[in-house]
Chain A
Amino acid sequence: MAEKVLKKGNEVIALGAIHCGCDGYFGYPITPQSEVMETLMEEKPWETTGMVVLQAESEIASINMVYGGACCGKKVMTSSSSPGMSLMCEGLSYLAGSELPCLTANIVRGGPGLGTIQPSQGDYFQAVKGGGHGDYKIIVLAPFSAQEMYDFVGLGFDLAFKYRIPVMLLTDGMIGQMMEKVELRPQQARLSDQEIAQRYGSWATTGKTPDRKENTITSLALDAKVHEALNHKLQAKYQEITEKEVRFETLFCEDAEYLLIAYGSMARICESTIEAARAQGIKLGLLRPITLFPFPTKEIQRMIPQLKGILSVELSAGQMVEDIRLAVEGKIPVSLFGRQGGMLPTPVEVLDAFKTNYI
């Protein structure tokens, strides 16, 4: 039987990394995600799997160490929280431009600026629309439980290597600091250098062999034609991801007349709101995007005919709501209930906000 433990979301990101055969973690501490590196330091995976864990001198150094590891075809990752992730955005743009796989986790805190250490979803735009410069996307997964924090590390790496793209776990201090029951998986071995060369030798800098040309990894292409071709290739990849990798969960949606859309911590709170609404005879459903890029646009559009209105519930001044409105194209009302500054609404507050908008 698989081992069940009581752990914080942040702690199981670390365990998930070790168990899925991650090669290296490079990070810099920041609340509310410091338990990721603390757990790695306690677990000492360098003595068991050989995984490297390194506290860099800054977030900028961390993300560039990730860049270096990813160039070699290694499973490498970092994690941070909002202000730290802002520093990493330049590196993320380079990783995206160089088509490198890696995993990052942003345990979001309130902003802008140094803000607060309490939960927030104010980094949705940064994660989903880019953050760094240039026309790029990264896959964004939004775990809503400690179990998903654990599971999505392995899933994130799988997607990162499948598409050669950075993947981000976007969550917040609530999911990071909360302890829940987590079922652990068996230890997966790290890939050997030979296995990495076999799998990723077509692009990674695993050492030139006489039968092929050297692999060059760069995001620089000064020739406009070459650079436009690179951009077209990236966009084609994002299109394929949009078609194939949308993930979401629905609750009470079959007969729903109204819909809450929420991800991560807010989806947990909204689940209780739905239960309370149903007890009062209100036909309310919940759509929880699991991937924020790619966004479940088609599922929202599929539901429009049965709906009288949508409420986007976010810990922000309204960011995801813009993507919902793009999907809905003005066909039905879309409203927002957002809290900021680290304030968490109770399920009843969300229900009251829904009623104010629609009942």
Chain B
Amino acid sequence: MKEEIIIAGFGGQGVLSMGKILAYSGIMQDQEVTWMPSYGPEMRGGTANVTVVLSDKRISSPIVSAYDTAIILNQQSLDKFEPLIKAGGLLIYDPNGITRHPVRKEINIYSIAAVEEAAQLGNAKAYNMIVLGAFLKLKPIVKMENVIRGLKKSIPERHHHLIPLNEQAIELGKKAVKAMHEV
């Protein structure tokens, strides 16, 4: 198993922490992982993205030419990364604020209305976990028990009382993800 993922959106949406939780979940089941953020001027008020690779074998390049999965949370990122998804790969996006929807025919496209779901849940901070849930529904590459263990490792202990809420958000994302186009 080797999964090369880009997670991209605005700074503040929890893009980097979602990637970290996913990577830590991989470590909890003895996978090799890399977490390679975009760092620098583009993070300040602009877009943020992180490339996460999970693999059963040693990972060579943390910079990849094309992605198995793109998790996209704003228009700029959709424009930038839709062309870089491997044929037959997966695109998950939140339609909130999207005016130009994905167009490729040879990839699987799913939407997750995570902004709406988070509002209904009454917790905007659960946003990225709803998106993570959508991904895990479609590609269950890490077991749920390891995601919880990954969460515990990723967030400070003073926030551990929020783990059940995060779990609830992940389950919500699993239910709310919708197929838009399948190959």
Give A contacts to B, CB under 8 Å.
4-6, 32, 116-118, 173-174, 177-181, 268-275, 342, 344-349
Contacts and interface: CB of A to CB of B under 8 A. Distances in A.
B36 A346 contact: no
Given A4-B27, A6-B23, A6-B153, A347 B39 contact: no
Nearest to B53: A180
Among A4, A178, A349, the most chain B Cβ lie within 10 Å of the Cβ of: A178
A173 B39 contact: yes
The 6 closest A-B pairs by CB, nearest first: A271-B60, A272-B61, A179-B35, A346-B65, A348-B65, A272-B60
B62 interface: yes
Contacts of A273: 61
Interface of B: 20, 23-24, 27, 32-37, 39-41, 60-65, 153-154
B49 to A, nearest CB: 13
Q: Is the interface of B mostly helix, strand, loop or mixed?
A: mixed
A55 to B, nearest CB: 21
A179 B63 contact: no
Nearest to A346: B65
Nearest to A268: B61
A347 B62 contact: no
B24 to A, nearest CB: 5
A269 to B, nearest CB: 5
A5 B153 CA distance: 9
B43 to A, nearest CB: 11
A344 B40 contact: no
B60 A118 contact: no
Nearest to A348: B65
Contact of A181 (B20, B27, B39, B64): B27
A6 B39 contact: no
A6 B20 contact: yes
Given A6-B33, A6-B35, A173-B39, A179 B20 contact: yes
A116 B40 CA distance: 9
Given A117-B39, A117-B40, A173-B39, A179 B60 contact: no
Contact of A269 (B24, B40, B61, B153): B61
A23 B65 CA distance: 43
Nearest to B51: A178
28 contacts: A5-B153, A32-B39, A32-B40, A117-B39, A117-B40, A117-B41, A174-B36, A174-B62, A177-B37, A178-B34, A178-B35, A178-B36, A178-B37, A178-B62, A180-B34, A180-B62, A268-B62, A269-B61, A269-B63, A270-B61, A271-B61, A272-B64, A273-B61, A346-B64, A347-B63, A347-B64, A347-B65, A348-B65
Contacts of A269: 60-61, 63
A344 B60 contact: no
A270 B62 CA distance: 11
Contact of B63 (A32, A177, A181, A346): A346
B34 A179 contact: yes
Nearest to A8: B35
Contacts of B39: 32, 117, 173, 177
Nearest to B150: A6
Contacts of B60: 268-269, 271-272, 274-275, 347
